[in-house]
Amino acid sequence: MKQDGRNRTKAYAAGALALLAFATACGDNGDGAAAAPAARTTAPAAPQPTGGGAASTAAGTPTAAPAAGDAAWAKWNLKPLAPAPAPPADKPIKLERTGTVPVFSDVKTNDKVVFITIDDGAEKDPKFVEMLTDLKVPISMFLTRDIVKNDYGYFKPLQALGNHIQNHTVDHPVMSKIPPEKQKSEVCDDQSALTQQYGTAPLLFRPPFGDGANTPTLNNAVQQCGPRAIVLWRESMQIHDMQYQGEKKLKPGDIILAHFRGPKELKGAAMTEMFGELLARIQEQGFSVARLEDYIQAPAS
């Protein structure tokens, strides 16, 4: 397994070492990319405050978010990505309010789009907020309470751009190594904290390292705590390159994993550099970046 580095935040370094055998991608620089096998199933988080997401016409048909101009891309030494198409009115992922939650690592779509998800929240670089403000590239943020609680406010400008905040546990444990009640508290307590801080309950959950995603124990915990789907990934971003599962190329609907990481974990590179490399890899393969939640239908109220 290709590794750019093995250093993790101290709070969960032990868990990362225990999960090397899973070949997953929750390491600092992308310790790996293969998550536990996931179903290609059914969708978006409930709308979160303020814009940047898909717009709507007077008839209610979703339209694509406004694209950044060439000057914004040039500022970050990047070529413009092709604008994402308008999200489908008939969402490919449809979530239910009760029952077993689906597990998925990609979205069934013919649109040549991929989805960027960024985990945990360890690095809080203001230049990254500036970059997303300029480029208007949508992301989904899976945040870990004990990693972000020292600065919940950092993520609010990112949320204000239309990016959704999702659940990634309280302190990033290896979920299969802890008892059922602890699994439940990891999901429920993060759900409560993120809902209080950001005003909207996360609809999606990602287990650290992808561990336990397909187990009844974790699925029961997620059901009881509020998220309606478990989200894994098909690719993970390293410092300069992506690590793939299966074919070494992107496919329509793939979910990509990255992390809030800084120079200590990225061998001197800033998070903006890593994200720019990610966008370049996506652009080279002719894909656009869409908002994951725009392809998901939330449960009816």
Using the structure block, give the residue that is written with the tokens 């979920």.
Answer: 175
Give the list of residues 6+ apart from residue 151 with CB closer than 8 angstroms, or none: 124
Q: How far apart are CA 46 and CA 294, in angstroms?
A: 10
Report the pLDDT value the prediction gives residue 34, as an integer from 0 to 100: 39
Q: How confident is the model at residue 26 (pLDDT cuts 50, 70, 90)?
A: low
* pTM over the 0.75 mark: yes
7 or 241: whose pLDDT is higher?
241
Stretch 209-221: mean pLDDT: 98
Using the structure block, give the residue that is written with the tokens 């008939």.
Answer: 90
Q: Which of 193, 114, 116, 110 is nearest to 150 (CA)?
A: 193
Q: Which of 169, 226, 220 is nearest to 26 (CA)?
A: 169
Report the pLDDT value the prediction gives residue 66, as an integer from 0 to 100: 63
Report the pLDDT value the prediction gives residue 9, as an integer from 0 to 100: 40
Mean pLDDT of the chain: 85
- DSSP 8-state class, residue 30: -
106: Cα separation from own chain's centroid: 12
In the structure encoding, which two tokens stand for residue 135, read together?
Answer: 């480029």
Report the pLDDT value the prediction gives residue 121, as an integer from 0 to 100: 98
Q: Which structural domains are found in the chain, ordered by start? A: 10-50+63-297 (3.20.20.370)
Report the pLDDT value the prediction gives residue 246, as an integer from 0 to 100: 87
Distances (CA, A) of 267 to 5, 71, 140, 258: 8, 29, 25, 15
Q: What is the pLDDT of residues 27-40, one digit of tens each?
A: 444 333 334 434 44
